[in-house]
Amino acid sequence: MTQFYDARGNIYGVIAPQALRDAGIVLPVSATECASARHSWSAAAIKLCCDWPEDQRPANSKSHRSDGLLIGPFQTSPPFDVLIVNTDGTLAERSGNGLTIFSQALTEQGLMPEEGALLRVHHDKGYAVETSAKPAEVEGVKGFWLDLGQPRFGPDAVGAQTVQGIEFNARDVSHVQPLAQLDSDWAYSQFVRIGNPHCVTLLRDVSTLPSNEQMRESPLNEGLTEIAYAMPTGAGDPCPAGVNLQWAVLESPQKILARVFERGEGPTASSGTSASAVASAAWRVGWVEAGEVQVVMPGGTAPILLEEAEGELRRVRLFGTARLMG
């Protein structure tokens, strides 16, 4: 019923709305109605599709077999509506790896046109975030370019509160006190909205990058959860709606090493929108130039294209590929 796909170590289940209904989960007809009613069905959908069977959970694994659930499409021709459900039952506005996986699923279903299609991710706040996906081949690898649009920067872009201005590399960034309290090297952050909110902490030494293993352990896990998650799971500080956290360090020209702690998920092997936010933040502080940027995460490397015009970052594109798991 649920098919699982891997995109750079990010795993999502994909299921059609009717398949959930056939399994006894009451879903409204439209994606918009489903999103607004998510409190009535999302926990049951995650339990049905993403919980490990009791006898199959590997030792030391995450509590769910995937990083989330993609429900869609709701129609057989573009634009294609989809819901991205985090394993805590909340809805995500956008996921680069998730939309790459959704594009691959559409292709295997014979629904993705050769020229690409518009994907619409619906949120329970009453809006949808649109992303265009186009089939492509990069260095012999078939995948999709996702057009993520123009990023926005600064505390106002993500609704951050109680942060202070500070300079990094002679550029204006933010000081997020809860992060700096966890580690004094985490003192410089760039907020980025790229369909969803991100806080990219800029580091000068690779040794200060947290590992996923460290981020899963107490007390660091609890501290990061308080920052990244909205209430009641976290404190929503500095962003009441929660924020995705990244750490980034410049390894070489146009190449960034990064780690990710996602709102609603915790530490992840990779994240497409996080990689795009990292590349955008690196451009903002003068680490990289427009053009192709490589963002290296534990799950793999994400090629990002940054398009600049008149001194502004006008467009960010992410290339991704996904495979159906056995």
**Over the stretch 82-102, which tens digit does the pLDDT of each residue have?**
999 999 999 999 999 999 999
Asked whether the beta carbons of 91 and 37 are under 8 A apart, the reply is no
- Statement: residue 61 has pLDDT above 80: no
How large is the average pLDDT for residues 126-132? 95
Q: How many helices (H) and strands (E) does the chain have?
A: 9, 20
How large is the average pLDDT for residues 292-304? 95
- Statement: residue 270 has pLDDT above 80: yes
Q: What is the pLDDT of residue 187?
A: 98
How large is the average pLDDT for residues 173-181? 98
Cis link prior to 232 (omega < 30° from 0)?
yes
Q: What is the pLDDT of residue 56?
A: 77
DSSP-derived secondary structure for 177-220: HHHHHH-TT---EEEEESSSEEEEEEES-GGGSPPHHHHHSTTH
Q: Which are the contacts of 115, defined by CB distance < 8 A and separation ≥ 6?
A: 134
Strand partners, 266: 262
Q: What is the pLDDT of residue 1?
A: 87
Mean pLDDT of the chain, nearest integer? 96
With both helix axes pointing from N to C terminus, report the angle between 272-284 and 96-108 in degrees, rounded to the nearest 10.
140
Q: What is the pLDDT of residue 202?
A: 98
How large is the average pLDDT for residues 181-196? 97
Does residue 319 or residue 53 have the better pLDDT?
Answer: 319
Give which of 64, 70, 68, 92 is closest to 16, Cα–Cα. Answer: 70
- Statement: residue 42 has pLDDT above 90: yes
- Statement: residue 175 has pLDDT above 70: yes
- Statement: residue 60 has pLDDT above 70: no
Q: What is the pLDDT of residue 199?
A: 98
- Statement: residue 59 has pLDDT above 80: no
- Statement: residue 326 has pLDDT above 90: no
Domains of the chain: 3-149 (3.10.310), 152-304 (3.10.310.10)
Q: Which ranges constitute the DSSP H helices of the chain? A: 17-22, 31-36, 42-50, 96-108, 155-158, 177-182, 212-216, 220-228, 272-284
Q: What is the pLDDT of residue 267?
A: 94
CA distances from 58 to 68, 177, 242, 252, 264 (A): 18, 37, 30, 37, 22
**Over the stretch 18-31, which tens digit does the pLDDT of each residue have?**
999 999 999 999 99
For 46, the token pair is 């995650």
Q: Which are the contacts of 290, defined by CB distance < 8 A and separation ≥ 6?
A: 283, 306, 307, 308, 313
How large is the average pLDDT for residues 277-303? 97
For 16, the token pair is 């059609």
Which of helix, strand or coil describes residue 145? strand
Q: Cα–Cα distance between 255 and 149 in angstroms, integer?
A: 21
